Amino acid sequence: MTYSRDIDRKWQKKWEETELYKFNPQNMDKKLYCLEMFSYPSGAKLHAGHWYNYGPADSWARMKRMQGYEVFHPMGFDAFGLPAENYAIKTGIHPQDSTLQNIKTMERQLKEMGATFDWDYEVITCLPDYYKWTQWVFLQLYKKGLAYRKKAPVNWCPSCKTVLANEQVVEGTCERCGSEVTKKDLTQWFLKITDYAEELLEKLDELDWPEKTKMMQRNWIGKSDGAEIEFKVDGKDISFKVFTTRADTLYGVTYVVLAPENEIVDQITTDKYRRNVEEYKEYARKQSEIERLSTEKEKTGVFTGAYAIHPITGEKLPIWISDYVLATYGTGCVMAVPAHDERDYMFAKKYDLPMKRVIKGRDGVDDSLPFVEYGILVDSGDFTGSKSEDARIEIVKMLEKEGKGSLKVNYRLRDWLVSRQRYWGAPIPIIHCEKCGLVPVPEEDLPVLLPYNVEFSPDGESPLKKSEEFMNTTCPKCGGKALRDPDTLDTFVDSSWYFLRYPDNKNDKEPFNKELIDKMLPVDKYIGGAEHACMHLLYARFVTKALRDLGYLDFDEPFKSLIHQGIILGPDGNKMSKSRGNTISPDEYINEYGSDVFRMYLMFGFAFTEGGPWNDDGIKAMSRFISRIERLIDKFTEDKGKSGKNEISKDEKELNYVRNYTIKSVTDDAEKFQFNTAIARIMELVNALYKYDGEVENKNMKLYEETIADLIRVLAPFAPHFSEEMWERMGYSYSVFNQKWPEYDDKALVKDTIEIAIQVNGKVRGRLEIPSGATEKEIQDKALVVESIKQFIEGKEIKKVVVVKNRLVNIVVK
Ligand code: ANZ
Ligand code: ZN
């Protein structure tokens, strides 16, 4: 029987019957938690992207299992959220029905992939036994003051008719549907991720994560070391603070700018300018944050008629409002230094505001303005002559003595907006009582069930509001009539803690048992897409830290080591999408070639972390490679009884060398998720076996068999069904996955002889085999008498001979 789907099925059945991948919690000191980001059950089928994530990750897990780890490898579904709801709106099929149906299909497909998932630990976020605990997590955060409600201008997608988190707005458009995002003032729930800004930043250094992802989180958190400086409004009992990173430029301030939304704008604006200011505020409301911050966009603004007093010189500085100052960053007020800041410079040019240079370059060259670098202070009172680096601290220290300023650290990170005016999510477990205000649902009343019969098409209001049955309740505090919160939680809340639930997914007393979870976590290897850098991966870190501080966990970070798979693009080089019609359905390939060929092809055809455009040229070659191994093994089993020799001579040494070199390379490369090179080494081993079989009449059958057995062992993680079949065909007992991962023999990697190149005047003219311990003199002597180079040196003067150890000899002639 040649390798095919039937062999896949045979072994999948056997693995399931024998519970081969069952995690044994008794074996805790060997545990290894290998986790792939769970999938969203939106499309009814697994696509090539799922395979590309789960196939190679499973191969890694299989290798770790053979290396003696007790691998915990669960799988589940991130099942709430917009796509199912949008699909429901389009088709009329209830999101719960379509989601549960999709999950069934995907479970089956994942099993057909032959992955080592232990399905006993499955987690599905839209089921009450899971979201009960999502609500519980929310309540713990609420009790700790880490969840709060606030009226705020929020990102609003007019097409999805829902609020979006900052992270879900991509270049001003909705991450999900691409519509232009607008702003809307609404009361919303937030989680106080900003309380953890510093730790989220600091602990990044300790993580074994891709540098780029760490950098993205650093930028997203956006720590900024600066100062707050107080300015008084001329003639009024009002003052305001600015946030600046360049207090060294304080003597160069020529005006100040407030965000149009700043609350003091109305109080300071003079009658003469009130109309202008009102009009401008209206205009600014319509701008997106991205537009407002862009340096390309022409700066606009209006004068308020008011003046501020410079905290040191007492000068009068005009107060403007402009949309280039954001209300939500720093204090929403900026001291403008047009000589040394790009945006202030453009603004001052446009409105003809004065400019004053206070920093010059270190080399004394009078560079043109704006001069934005650090330098030496000029025209800056007592600080003239200081360096920027010193003055930006010293000036603040001086102001501090007068109560006019202090050093201050700011973060770009905003609190996480988690309420959604949508149906398909976990209800927020809060009750609104007229008498008692916000009252958390008592823990014993959880879950707050999501009702099934609800009109879920969105109209900007939460669909749950229309369900009287859901909304009307009694206040847990006073017993009076009260209403439930009609919003649901962002799906990123569901996925911010799911890795904590897997090991204890059946616990109905608590979200997880602390003792168990402290042993099972952190996740040892987390595998998933890089697009989650500033969302899921940051939220999960935050929730872990918050739960730690609440006493539920003893570790700081959820994911010790992280790796991102690349993206498989369509053959046209574009991201695969249904609308482009460039998607690849794995099913046809699997039916034709078997799942191992498809998996191996993905692992060999792409560098795992890079991905690339789909091209199925190589898949036939991979199928032939599998057949080639099968033929080799079939021939061996026929020859098995034959007598051979016991000696180890040159051919055996060569075979043994390739065998050990392959074991070493596959172990090292696969550990680093470099599967393509690992498979290339396995191909070399197969070649070496063919060579030995073809060229050596009187074989050392013991070595030959051991080498084939090692071939099957190292191949097993990448072609699990096929290897299991070959293992059986060799007459060995079930299962190859209970075999120990082979170890290599260092001694076999030292070759007795080495082949080196001989060059004449830098050109390769021949090859030479030398004993590996040969001296330079011996190598020289041998090289000069090699037949193939004689013609190049005869009759010429040998100027010198250079020997590069283990690599080459170069003979220089004239
Ligand atoms: C005066 C100054 C002089 C500034 C100079 C820069 C250069 P980061 O590093 O991103 O924190 N700023 C402060 N609050 C702002 C707001 N709400 N909207 C827009 N801009 C704001 O940037 C801090 C700098 O951005 C601050 O330092 C301030 O301009 C501006 F030669 O103050 B600076
Ligand atoms: Zn009440």
Please check whether residue 679 is in contact with residue 718, taking contact to mean a CB–CB distance below 8 angstroms.
Answer: yes
| Nearest Cα residue to atom 28 of ligand 1 | 244
Q: What gap in Å lies between CA 409 and CA 388, rounded to an integer?
A: 18
Amino acid 679: pLDDT: 97
Comparing 87-91, 130-134, 344-348, 763-767, the range with the smallest average pLDDT is 87-91
pLDDT for 558-595, tens place per residue?
A: 999 999 999 989 888 888 776 777 788 888 899 999 99
773 or 223, which is more confident?
223
Cβ neighbour number for residue 494 with a 10 Å cutoff? 25
Which tokens belong to 194?
Answer: 């900003």
- Which one is predicted more confidently, 159 or 214? 214
For the CA of 240, the nearest ligand: 1
What does the mean pLDDT of the chain come to? Answer: 92
What average pLDDT does the segment 638-667 reach?
92
User: Across 158-220, where does the E strand assignment appear?
Assistant: 162-164, 169-170, 173-174, 182-191
Position 785 confidence tier, pLDDT thresholds 50, 70, 90: confident
Q: How much distance in Å is there from the Cα of 144 to the middle of ligand 2?
A: 21
Answer whether residue 752 shows pLDDT above 80: no
Confidence at 342, pLDDT banded by 50, 70, 90: very high
Hey, what are 404's tokens?
């006019």
CB atoms within 10 A of CB 141: 21
% of residues, the chain, pLDDT over 70:
97
pLDDT score at 182: 82
Check if the beta carbon of residue 125 is closer than 8 Å to that of residue 425. Answer: no
Give the orientation angle of helix 586-593 with respect to helix 617-639, to 10 degrees: 30
Q: Which ligand 1 atom is nearest residue 332's CA?
A: 17
Pocket test for ligand 1, best of 221, 231, 240, 246 (most atoms within 8 A of CB): 246
Higher local confidence (pLDDT), 387 or 292: 387
Least confident of 78-92, 95-109, 632-646: 78-92
How far apart, in whole angstroms, are the C-alpha atoms of residue 101 and residue 110? 14
CA 353 to chain centre: 46
Q: What is the pLDDT of residues 516-544, one digit of tens each?
A: 999 999 999 999 999 888 899 999 999 99
- Please, what is the angle between helix 617-639 and helix 595-605, to 10°? 120
Give the ligand at the shortest distance from the Cα of 222. Answer: 1
pLDDT in tens, 88-129: 888 888 999 999 999 998 898 888 889 999 999 999 999 999
* Residue 538 CA neighbour count, 13 Å, CB half: 31
Least confident among 60-69, 202-211, 779-788: 779-788
- What is the residue type of 667? T
Give the count of beta carbons closer than 10 Å to the beta carbon of residue 104. Answer: 12
Tell me which residue has its CA closest to atom 33 in ligand 1.
Answer: 244
pTM over 0.80? The answer is yes
Whether residue 527 contacts residue 540, with contact meaning beta carbons closer than 8 Å, is answered with no
Domains and CATH numbers, the chain: 138-219+415-491 (3.40.50.620), 223-411 (3.90.740.10), 617-748 (1.10.730.10), 751-813 (3.10.20.590)
Burial 512-534 (b: 16+ CB within 10 A, else e): beeeebeebbbbbbbbbebebbb
Backbone dihedral angles phi then psi of residue 222, each to the nearest 5 degrees: 60, 60
CA of 295 to the centre of ligand 1 (A): 13
Lowest mean pLDDT among 203-207, 359-363, 664-668: 359-363
Q: Measuring from atom 25 of ligand 1, which residue has the nearest CA?
A: 244
- How much distance in Å is there from the Cα of 337 to the middle of ligand 1? 10
Query: Given this model, what pLDDT does residue 291 score?
Result: 62
Angle between helices 595-605 and 95-113 (to 10 degrees): 90
List, for residues 9-46, the tens digit of each pLDDT value: 999 999 999 999 999 999 999 999 999 999 888 766 77
CA of 441 to the centre of ligand 2 (A): 12
Helix (H, G, I), strand (E, B) or coil at 740: coil
Model confidence pLDDT, tens digit, residues 467-524:
999 999 999 999 999 999 999 999 999 999 999 999 999 999 999 999 999 999 999 9
* Nearest-angstrom CA–CA distance, 673 and 608: 7
* Span 125-137, average pLDDT: 98
SS3 34: strand
pLDDT tens-digit readout, 243-274: 999 999 999 999 999 999 999 999 999 999 99
Residues by chain with Cβ below 5 Å of ion ligand 2: 433, 435-436, 475, 477-478
Within 6 A (CB) of ligand 1 lie 224, 243-246, 249, 325-326, 329-330, 332, 334-335, 337, 340-341, 410
Confidence of residue 289 (pLDDT cuts 50, 70, 90): low
Determine the length of the chain: 814
For residues 643 and 132, which has the higher predicted lDDT (pLDDT)?
Answer: 132
pLDDT in tens, 669-700: 999 999 999 999 999 999 999 999 999 999 99
Amino acid at site 575: K
Are 356 and 379 spatial neighbours (Cβ–Cβ below 8 Å)? Answer: yes
Distance 376 CA to ligand 1 centre (A): 20
Q: Are 568 and 584 in contact (CB under 8 A)?
A: yes
329 CA distance to ligand 1 centroid (A)? Answer: 9
358 pLDDT exceeds 90? Answer: yes
Q: Which H or E element spans position 281? A: helix 271-285
pLDDT tier for residue 294 given thresholds of 50, 70 and 90: low
pLDDT above 80: residue 341 = yes
The residue to mutate among 220, 230, 292, 341, having the most atoms of ligand 1 within 8 angstroms of its beta carbon, is 341
Q: What is the number of the ligand 1 atom nearest to the C-alpha of 325?
A: 18
pLDDT tens-digit readout, 413-423 = 999 999 988 89
Whether pLDDT at 462 is above 90: no
The per-residue pLDDT for 804 is 87
Tell whether 702 is in a known binding site. no
CA distances from 453 to 219, 470, 484 (A): 44, 10, 17
State the ipTM, two decimals: 0.97
Confidence of residue 364 (pLDDT cuts 50, 70, 90): low
Identify whether the C-beta of residue 717 lies closer than 8 Å to the C-beta of residue 645: no
Average pLDDT value for residue range 427-436: 97
The identity of residue 466, as a single letter, is K
- The string of pLDDT tens digits covering residues 695-720 is 999 999 999 999 999 999 999 999 99
Residue 339 has pLDDT above 70, yes or no: yes
Give the pLDDT confidence score for residue 290 in this predicted structure. Answer: 58
**Which tens digit of pLDDT belongs to each residue from 212-225?**
999 999 999 999 99
What separation in Å is there between the alpha carbon of 247 and the centre of ligand 1?
Answer: 10
φ and ψ of 223, to 5 deg: -70, 135
Whole-number Å distance, alpha carbon 399 to ligand 1 midpoint, is 18
Is the CB of residue 626 less than 8 Å from the CB of residue 722?
yes
Collapsed DSSP state (helix, strand, coil) of residue 499: helix
pLDDT value at residue 158: 86
| Residue 370 CA, closest ligand 1 atom number | 31
Closest atom, ligand 1, to C-alpha of 327 = 17
Question: Distance between CA atoms of 394 and 140, rounded to whole angstroms?
Answer: 43
Which of the ligands is closest to the CA of residue 246? 1
Rounded Cα distance between 705 and 689, Å, is: 10
Q: Which ligand is nearest to the CA of 326?
A: 1
Give the ligand whose atoms come closest to the C-alpha of residue 475: 2
